Structure 1
Amino acid sequence: MTVENSTIKNRIKNLLRSPSIKLRKNKTGNNKECLGNKVTLEKVLGITAAGNRALASDPRSGLVAYPAGCVVVLLNPKKSKQYHILNNSRKTITTLAFSPDGKHVVTGESGHVPAVRVWDVAERTQVAELQEHKYGVACVAFSPNSKYIVSVGYQHDMIVNVWAWKKNVVVAANKVSSKVTAVSFSDDSSYFVTAGNRHVKFWYLDHAKSSKVNATVPLLGRSGLLGELRNNFFSDVACGKGRKADSTFCITSSGLLCEFNDKRLLDKWVELRTGLATSLSVTEDLIFCGCADGTVRAFSPVNLHFICTLPRPHCLAATAPRWGPCSQTAKHVPRVSGGLPPDKG
């Protein structure tokens, strides 16, 4: 038995030393290298956006950006074509936003020591990185003049940073104790507004701009005067544009569209007549509110008068005649409330 075992062992050793075995091993290695060079990400199915803060569109190019794990998907709806930005840190992207000129995308991520990253859209490469958060980045936004990026951390992170990203310097920062889900810059880039759980706060940059000290200065913040709506969850916020640039618009998860005046006072609101409201988009002429079941309602920013309910997309992209007519307008006109006295703020 001993002789037979030694003979078998010798045969195995000889086989392993055989040139043909080595050749096969080398071929396998070469195949892996070739496959690594040839395999590219062609299409992503699905989306990991947690809300409106992780979905952005560029009006100039028409690109739509959204996260799928550690990948930013840049979708061209007209051509039905995807482009991809891969986050090499492999951390899940939680929020993103386009720059005003559409040339850059800023992303925030989750995980230990998460970064705020700026990407070149055309080249799909990283051009800047900021690591000032500890637990995760809830929302990000470019200022309209493209000089600054504001990033808000998760609730346990409790940090709001204003970043002069081209200089890689945090110019202002402060703490926030509430859960924040949205941020929006004013038209003139002088302040931005955060919204969240029983939270609407106005943050001012004037003193940060005028400071000649290179060190980070405290960010000046003032709470919005919420009055009788103080116990609401404010799910999204958008600063007004054009003639309504002094106003700020918010929606509550319970289904209210609210307007703050230039004194930070919530003085008007309308009922959206929906079980849930999640997203908000404001132009000079229209306010769009994203509601439950794919409902989108449009209002006038001048007086919050209801205009229409947009038709819903048809199931499986079917044609309209097959599925019947669609309603162009809502069957109700939401009630306008307001005039909160200052002493209730």
Structure 2
Amino acid sequence: MSIAIAQPRHIFGLRSSIAGNIAFHDEQTIVFPSGANCILYNTDAKTQRFIPGSEKSEGMTAMVVSPNRRYIAIAEKGEKATITIYDLHSLRKRKILSSPDIQSSEFVSLAFSPDSKYLVAQGGKPDWTLLYWTWEKSKVMASTKTSNPQTNGAIYQVCLVNFICNAL
């Protein structure tokens, strides 16, 4: 007697609460969160590929595709905030990142460096810690508190750029 296993073929919907919730993998493929999965939808072939969420996850909180379009970083909320880096071609996990430097159970924003070698992750409340990773080595290069608890000035979006931004 064989047991049938149900596997998703199509998933509809977009989780709008996820930071960076839609991106291009290439000219024909968009990447977006839906339910507990991350979907790669090919607009020409009308096909979907899935990156499932982790078993112990309480849900995705942020995602970002690397500038070289090879990797995706997905942050998930849980007992411990985690970031999983996947190879977008093979859909295999490359790294799972977490740090004892943060008290938060979630990362609220992610950004790759222009060369795709580094990752910035903004932790959420209560400590609002920003981490700068060499992600391939799973090494935190720097961390800092980005919010003043007395003013409730929370940070919800981060970016890494290779030029100086001047405020007007």
- TM-score bracket for the superposition, by shorter chain length: 0.7 to 0.9
1:139 matched to which residue of 2? 109
Residue in structure 1 matched with residue 43 of structure 2 by the alignment: 77
Q: Which amino acid aligns with 1:81?
A: T
Cα separation, 1, equivalents of 2:132 and 2:35: 26
State the match for 1:115 in structure 2.
Answer: 82
Task: Give the match's secondary structure for 1:180.
Answer: coil
Structure ranking higher on relative contact order (CA contacts 8 Å, 6+ apart): 2
Note closer, same or farther for the CA distance 1:131–1:246 as it changes in structure 2 (3 Å cut).
closer
CA distance in 1, matches of 2:87, 2:145: 30
Shift of 1:70: 2.2
Could you tell me whether the CA contact under 8 Å between 1:53 and 1:182 is conserved in 2? no
Ranges of 4+ aligned residues in structure 1 off by more than 4 Å:
none
* Aligned residues of 1:113 and 1:136 also touching (Cα < 8 A): yes
How far residue 51 of structure 1 moved from its aligned partner, in angstroms, is 5.4
| Partner Cα distance (1:105, 1:72) in 2 | 10
1:87 corresponding residue in structure 2:
53
- Give the helix-richer structure, 1 or 2: 1
**Cα distance change of structure 1 residues 115 and 56 upon mapping to structure 2, 3 Å threshold:** same
Deviation at 1:101, TM superposition (A): 1.5
Q: Name the SS for the 1:40 alignment partner.
A: coil
Which AA in structure 1 matches 2:114?
Answer: P
2:95 is aligned with what amino acid?
A
Structure 1 portions without partners, runs of 5+:
1-29, 189-244, 248-260, 268-345
How many residues are aligned here?
Answer: 159
Which structure has the bigger radius of gyration?
1
Structure 2: gaps of 5 or more residues: 148-152
Aligned residue for 1:166, secondary structure, equals helix
Query: What RMSD, in angstroms, separates the aligned Cα atoms of the two structures?
Result: 1.8
User: In the TM superposition, what is the alpha-carbon distance from 1:131 to its structure 2 partner?
Assistant: 1.1
Q: 1:139 to 1:182 in 2, by over 3 A?
A: same
Match of 1:64 in 2: 30
DSSP-derived class of the 1:171 partner: strand
Match of 1:72, SS state, is: strand
User: Which of 112, 128, 134 is 1:164 aligned to?
Assistant: 134
Quick one: which amino acid aligns to residue 162 of structure 1? Y
| 1:235-293 C-alpha deviation (Å, 9 max, x unpaired) | xxxxxxxxxx544xxxxxxxxxxxxx2xxx3x2xxxxxxxxxxxxxxxxxxxxxxxxxx
Q: Name 1:48's counterpart in structure 2.
A: 15
Q: CA deviation at 1:31?
A: 3.4
**Structural mapping, 1:121-270, within 5 Å:** 121-132=88-99, 133=102, 134-177=104-147, 178-186=153-161, 188=162, 245-247=163-165, 261=166, 265=167, 267=168
Report whether the alignment pairs 1:97 with 2:64. yes
Could you report, residue by residue, the CA deviation over 1:205-251 in whole angstroms, capped at 9, with x for unpaired residues? xxxxxxxxxxxxxxxxxxxxxxxxxxxxxxxxxxxxxxxx544xxxx
- Offset, 1:52: 5.2
Distance across 1 between alignment mates of 2:78 and 2:31: 21
User: What amino acid sits opposite 1:166 in the alignment?
Assistant: E
The letter for the 2-side match of 1:147 is K
- 1:70·1:93 contact (CA, 8 Å) conserved in 2? yes
CA separation of 1:52 and 1:77: change in aligned 2, threshold 3 A: farther
Deviation at 1:90, TM superposition (A): 4.5
- 1:94 positional shift: 1.4
Paired AA for residue 98 in structure 1: V
In structure 1, distance between residues paired with 2:122 and 2:113: 14
Q: Deviations over 1:23-49 (max 9, x none)?
A: xxxxxxx333xx12xx32111111213
